[in-house]
Structure 1
C-alpha cells in the first residue's frame, strides 16, 4: 500500500505485475505501458531489463530515521482529476494481455479518503 500511495503522490501510474509471470511477458507488459521504473521487493527475482528497478523494502524508512522533513516539499507534482491512477491488464484470453486504464487520480483519492474516514 505504501508503494501505491507513493507512486500516486509522485504523479506516477500504478501497474501491478505478477512476479510469477515469465520474464518475456513481464518485459512486454512494462514495454506496453512505457514503464520507466519498476518498484519491487528485493526477494523478487529480477526478470525485467532495460528499466530502472527500485526495491521497496530498501526505500521504506521509519519516522525515527527521518528528521525535520518538510512534507510540503516532498512532491511538486500537481495532479488533475483526469490524471490516470493505475493500469490493470486483462488475463489475455486472446493470448495477449490488454491494458485497461482505470480510475482518475481524483477517484482513487476519494476511495482512500473514504477508507480513512469510515475505517473500511
Structure 2
C-alpha cells in the first residue's frame, strides 16, 4: 500500500513540475493530476513516469492542447512506447471518452465539490 501511495504522489509531483515545460495550461495539468488519482488502484504494474506522461497526454487531448507522445515522454523521462501502453490502459480502465471535450471539465468540477 505504501508503494502505491508513493507512486501516485511521485506521478503527481512530476506532472506539476514538468507539465509547464510542455506549455500546458493549468487546466491540462489539473486534469492530468485528477486522472492519476482516479487511476490510483489500478496503477501497480506501471512506472509512475509512464502514468504521469499518459495522464498529461490524455488531458492534453481532452483540453485540445495536444502534444506528441514523443515530446511528452522526453520531458517526463519515459519511452513513448511505455506512454502509449499506459495511455491505452488508462483510457480503457477509466472509460475516458476521448472525443468528449466536456469530460475533463466535469471531472474537475466533481473534484472541486469534493474538496470543499
Q: TM-score, normalization: structure 2? A: 0.27
Higher-Rg structure is 1
TM-score (norm 1): 0.26
Higher RCO, 1 vs 2 (CA within 8 Å, ≥6 residues apart): 2
Structure number having the greater helix percentage: 2
